[in-house]
Each structure stands twice: as C-alpha cells, then as structure tokens.
Amino acid sequence: MTKAILLAQFLRARAWWRLDSAGATAAHVACSVVSLLDAAGYARPLPDDDPAIAALDAAGCFTGGIFDPGPVGWNIVREWQLAEKATAGPEDLLAQLAQAASHHGPAVHRASLPAPAQLAITIPRQPGSADERAHAR
C-alpha cells in the first residue's frame, strides 16, 4: 500500500468524523467534509516521491502502516476549511501538514515522550534442582 493511499484513508476517515461531530454549523461542516474528501482524492494517486509525501515520510508520519500527522497536524485537519467557503485547496492542506510535521510531527513528538520501561520476562521455576526432578520420575 502506498503512502499516498494511507494519507487518503486518513483524510477520508477525518471527513466522516467531521460529518458525525457536533458543534459547527451545517454549512461549515459541509465545506470541511467536501474539502477533506477533495484532499483525499487529490492525495491518493500521488507517488511516494512527491515532495509533500516525502516530507511527511521524513517526519515519521507513515509508521506502523498508518498515517499520523502528529499533534499539530491533527489540529490542522480537524479545523480544515471549517468555514462558510473554502479558501484553500488540497495541495495547501498537504503543504501545511508537511510543514507542521517537519517541526512537530510524530517523530518529534515521540522523541519527547519517555521511553517505555523494559519488560522482564520471567519463567517460573519448579522447586528443587534439575537432578532432583529427573530422579523423581
């Protein structure tokens, strides 16, 4: 699966989320949903070496088989074109996401988090020595 498809899936999911979210006016929601779906359609056929896709990839946005734009990117998408009228196109959204990811992307965000504690695997031992258990059989 290409990185562009992962990005398009993310944008489509965010459009459906916006459609189901309360709070904004119907006209604002419609503008945002259409703009996000337009961006998903724009992004899907892009090659992995497209400058925006490459910048998002370099920022660590495509790890684990999903697209994660990082905390600032999530906010950009959440508020994208939530207005009466669209003022920017899909290429503008990708450019904003790439710029935000280069400064505040998931790789930067994950690097600031404490490392998880190392888990120790313990194997329960049976009482007595191995020789005692062997002779008991």
For position 42, what pLDDT does the model report?
97
Domain assignment present for residue 119? The answer is no
Residue 81 token pair: 């074109």
Domain assignment present for residue 124? The answer is no
Domain assignment present for residue 18? The answer is yes
pLDDT bin (cut points 50, 70, 90) of residue 83 is confident
CA distance 50 to 126: 59
pLDDT bin (cut points 50, 70, 90) of residue 8 is very high
pTM of the full predicted structure?
A: 0.74
For position 117, what pLDDT does the model report?
54
Domain assignment present for residue 73? The answer is yes
Q: What angle do CA 10, 14, 18 make, to 5 degrees?
A: 175
pLDDT tens-digit profile of 26-64?
899 999 999 999 999 999 999 999 999 999 999 999 988
For position 113, what pLDDT does the model report?
47
Total domains in the chain come to 1
Residue 125 has pLDDT above 80, yes or no: no
Alpha-carbon separation of residue 82 from 13, 31, 69 (angstroms): 16, 6, 19
Domain assignment present for residue 50? The answer is yes
Domain assignment present for residue 118? The answer is no
Show the domain range for 68.
3-112
Domain assignment present for residue 137? The answer is no
For position 97, what pLDDT does the model report?
94
Domain assignment present for residue 75? The answer is yes
pLDDT bin (cut points 50, 70, 90) of residue 109 is very low
Tell me the pLDDT of the chain averaged across its residues.
Answer: 83
